[in-house]
């Protein structure tokens, strides 16, 4: 049934300017219409707040905030806002109209996308969010419904209705904003949302594009929340075998449960996405995904029934919560904790707050009081890994059920290079089972000395540099009769010089005593090979033979001319002659001597002129090879001048 016919706004003109032509979409807080700006004669989208909410100052303020925020961005991948106004009970935004569909429409129709298509969508989304983050805004509601794909292929981010300034995003004791399937763990547990919450949501969206399904499922929104809080987002390749490991790593980086391990904003994630793309070949980028969506298992009913923004009744706290879409999740603050400490609490009071959140979710959403949250209290302690090698530390953390998501490097005067200085969380601290730990690994002392390398074989010298905390640099080679071939003659900087760790050290390596190449052209191949090998050189015979003055089967050409200096073991390539090319000799008898000479030379011959004394005139009397016969190209033709 076409409900557009029943919409009272269709056919009306708002504010004497915007003619409403058709309804596009309906959400929990607003309806979007296609309209025409009658002053400028252009099609646009009108986002009109539901009249029942227009009397609420909080919702009106959010509308105005969205208009101002997006107007400040002016980014090609952000749906632009042209105007904001109100007429009677209707509060509206006049926005850019994007003819096309949403990413949700694409995923519903096609399921999993090819990696190239997924990255082609992700990158402009991150560019838009990056502009917002650098301008000081957090979107807070990233999901496929808010990614528009135009008929011309342009990708744009929409619905900045939940946008907040980065500096103002702190702990909210009463509500959690966002979409259940895309909420970051810190949003659920502490009510905080900064740029890293948008990064997490983009990681979930990328997972969904690569697999066709959401990473965390459940029969209720509360179960989905629990999994975001306690389970890592799985690798997409677990559902779509054959996906490149770089894509798994990109999803893992963006969806790390510890926000400190994630890229700090969308700009940083965009850089990682571009690095991942650069590492993939065309075959990996264009791999046709299986319809993994059907195999993804049951998804949250709340997540698939409706993807619009819903508003919980006003009896709840003022900010909206989300049931998959943007439903309110009431989170009563711990009454025994002073308000100024709620944002940083991490102890029993904070955990009681999480439990209160979950119980409130169950109550608000009508979910039966179950036991799904009981196991979320399971913790383990970070084992002692300080002083261990990075490899051993990883092994010990893995045995404890913990994961290493990030490794940082820092200087240490006491801990050897490559060993663990510290961990975050620190040794003995409690962490959720299967949680993530950051390792801080030593780079060695802040200043290191260049070791003595003269006389060392190149491979050994490079090992010594790495062990000292330096990097092998450019290698140049030169002849040296006193230092064995392949051994180091010197370094730059010189031994004993002080340098920062990881500085490059250039090496000069001996080519040994020089060998002067003999002339072997015209020799039989076997003889030429023996002479060169006796001099300490290697010989390669070219597969293709050439016409040359040398006798067939002998050496016509050598790659290193006579007198060239080479190192022992260098290769000289020999090209074998297949004899001279035979050319027809022109008939020049009776011609002027100058004309005859020119004609013979043009045919490829050398010319010798014989004159009998006394002689008359300049006419050719005879030639050594008769005209019409063949002679070797380059050979000499003798012509005689007529005498008395």
User: Which pLDDT belongs to residue 73?
Assistant: 78
β-partners of residue 403 are: 436
Q: Name the least confident of 192-196, 361-365, 423-427, 532-536.
A: 361-365
Q: Of all helices (H) and strands (E), which one includes residue 110?
A: helix 103-110
User: Which pLDDT belongs to residue 503?
Assistant: 84
pLDDT at 441 exceeding the cut of 50: yes
C-alpha to C-alpha distance for 392 and 596, rounded to whole angstroms: 88
User: Which pLDDT belongs to residue 285?
Assistant: 94
User: Which pLDDT belongs to residue 326?
Assistant: 37
Q: Name the least confident of 257-271, 280-294, 567-581.
A: 280-294
User: Which pLDDT belongs to residue 615?
Assistant: 59
8 A C-beta contact, residue 475 and residue 526: no
Per-residue pLDDT reduced to its tens digit, 156-176: 998 875 555 454 443 443 445
Per-residue pLDDT reduced to its tens digit, 109-129: 889 999 999 999 999 999 999
8 A C-beta contact, residue 138 and residue 169: yes
Strands 100-102 vs 155-157: parallel, antiparallel or unpaired? unpaired
**Is residue 141 annotated as a catalytic residue, yes or no?**
yes
In the chain, DSSP finds a helix count (H) and a strand count (E) of 15, 31
Per-residue pLDDT reduced to its tens digit, 59-94: 777 777 767 777 777 788 999 888 888 888 888 989
pLDDT at 336 exceeding the cut of 50: no
* DSSP string covering 382-434: ----TTSBHHHHHHHHHHTT-EEEEEEEE--SSSPTTBEEEEESPTT-EEETT
Calculate mean pLDDT across residues 567-576: 95
Please list, in sequence order, all residues whose beta carbon lies within 8 angstroms of the beta carbon of residue 519, skipping any fewer than 6 positions away.
558, 561, 562
User: Which pLDDT belongs to residue 616?
Assistant: 61
Among residues 146, 499, 497, the alpha carbon closest in space to that of 326 is found at: 146
pLDDT greater at residue 467 or residue 574: 574
Q: Is 238 exposed, middle or buried (0-12, 13-18, 19+ CB in 10 A)?
A: exposed
User: Which pLDDT belongs to residue 555?
Assistant: 96
- Of 7, 15, 141, 392, the catalytic one is 141
Domains of the chain with CATH codes: 3-96 (3.30.200.20), 100-364 (1.10.510.10), 380-442 (3.30.10.20), 448-510 (3.30.10.20), 515-576 (3.30.10.20), 582-643 (3.30.10.20)
C-alpha to C-alpha distance for 32 and 92, rounded to whole angstroms: 9
User: Which pLDDT belongs to residue 177?
Assistant: 53
Calculate mean pLDDT across residues 610-629: 82
8 A C-beta contact, residue 565 and residue 530: no
pLDDT confidence bin for 305, thresholds 50/70/90: very low
User: Which pLDDT belongs to residue 361?
Assistant: 45
8 A C-beta contact, residue 494 and residue 450: yes
* Alpha-carbon distances, residue 549 vs 240, 261, 424 (angstroms): 66, 73, 78
pLDDT at 310 exceeding the cut of 50: no
SS3 string of 160-229? Answer: CCCCEEHHHCCCCCCCCCCCHHHCCHHHHHHCCCCHHHHHHHHHHHHHHHHHCCCCCCCCCHHHHHHHHH
Per-residue pLDDT reduced to its tens digit, 371-415: 233 233 357 888 888 889 999 999 999 888 888 988 988 888 778
User: Which pLDDT belongs to residue 337?
Assistant: 34
């Amino acid at each position: 049934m076409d409900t557009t016919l029943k919409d009272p706004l269709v056919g009306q003109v708002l504010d004497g300017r915007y003619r409403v032509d058709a309804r596009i979409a309906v959400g929990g807080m607003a309806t979007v219409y296609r309209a025409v700006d009658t002053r400028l004669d252009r099609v646009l989208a009108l986002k009109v707040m539901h009249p029942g909410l227009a009397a609420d100052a909080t919702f009106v303020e959010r509308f105005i905030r969205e208009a101002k925020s997006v107007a400040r961005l002016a980014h090609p991948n952000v749906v632009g806002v042209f105007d904001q106004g109100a007429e009677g009970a209707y509060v509206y935004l006049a926005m850019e109209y994007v003819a096309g569909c949403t990413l949700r429409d694409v995923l519903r129709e096609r399921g999993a996308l090819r990696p190239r298509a997924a990255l082609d969508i992700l990158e402009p989304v991150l560019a838009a969010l990056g502009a917002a983050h650098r301008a000081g805004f957090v979107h807070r509601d990233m999901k496929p419904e808010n990614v528009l794909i135009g008929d011309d292929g342009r990708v744009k981010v929409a619905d900045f209705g939940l946008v907040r300034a980065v500096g103002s995003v702190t702990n909210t004791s009463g509500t959690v904003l966002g979409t259940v399937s895309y909420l970051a763990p810190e949003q659920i547990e502490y009510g905080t949302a900064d740029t890293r919450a948008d990064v997490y949501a983009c990681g979930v969206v990328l997972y969904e594009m690569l697999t066709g399904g959401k990473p965390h499922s459940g029969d209720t929104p509360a179960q989905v929340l629990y999994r975001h809080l306690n389970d890592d987002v799985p690798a997409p390749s677990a559902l779509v075998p054959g996906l490149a490991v770089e894509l798994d790593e990109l999803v893992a980086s963006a969806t790390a449960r510890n926000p400190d391990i994630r890229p700090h904003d969308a700009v940083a994630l965009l850089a990682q996405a571009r690095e991942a793309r650069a590492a993939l070949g065309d075959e990996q980028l264009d791999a046709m995904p299986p319809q993994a969506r059907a195999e993804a298992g049951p998804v949250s009913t709340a997540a698939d029934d409706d993807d619009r923004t819903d508003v919980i009744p006003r009896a709840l706290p003022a900010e909206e919560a989300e049931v998959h879409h943007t439903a309110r999740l009431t989170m009563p603050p711990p009454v025994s904790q002073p308000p100024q400490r709620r944002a940083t609490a991490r102890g029993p009071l904070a955990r009681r707050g999480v439990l209160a959140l979950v119980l409130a979710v169950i109550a608000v959403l009508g979910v039966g009081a179950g036991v799904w949250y009981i196991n979320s209290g399971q913790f383990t302690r970070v084992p002692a890994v300080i002083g261990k090698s990075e490899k051993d530390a990883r092994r010990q953390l893995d045995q404890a059920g913990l994961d290493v998501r990030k490794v940082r490097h820092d200087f240490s005067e006491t801990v050897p290079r490559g060993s663990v200085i510290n961990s975050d969380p620190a040794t003995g601290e409690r962490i959720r089972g299967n949680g993530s730990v950051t390792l801080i690994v030593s780079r060695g002392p802040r200043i290191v000395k260049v070791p003595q390398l003269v006389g060392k074989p190149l491979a050994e010298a490079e090992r010594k540099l790495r062990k000292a905390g330096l990097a092998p640099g450019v290698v140049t080679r030169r002849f040296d009769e006193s230092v064995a071939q392949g051994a180091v003659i010197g370094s730059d900087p010189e031994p004993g010089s002080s340098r920062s760790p990881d500085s490059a050290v250039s090496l000069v390596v001996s080519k040994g005593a020089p060998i002067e190449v003999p002339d072997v052209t015209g020799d039989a191949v076997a003889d030429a090979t023996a002479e060169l090998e006796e001099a300490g050189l290697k010989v390669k015979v070219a597969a293709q033979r050439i016409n040359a003055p040398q006798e067939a089967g002998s050496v016509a050409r050598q790659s290193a001319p006579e007198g060239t200096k080479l190192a022992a073991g260098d290769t000289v390539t020999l090209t074998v002659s297949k004899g001279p090319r035979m050319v027809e000799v022109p008939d020049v008898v009776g011609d002027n001597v100058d004309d005859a000479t020119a004609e013979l030379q043009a045919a490829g011959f050398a010319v010798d002129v014989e004159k009998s004394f006394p002689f008359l005139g300049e006419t050719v009397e005879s030639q050594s090879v008769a005209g019409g016969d063949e002679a070797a190209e380059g050979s000499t033709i003798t012509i005689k001048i007529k005498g008395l």
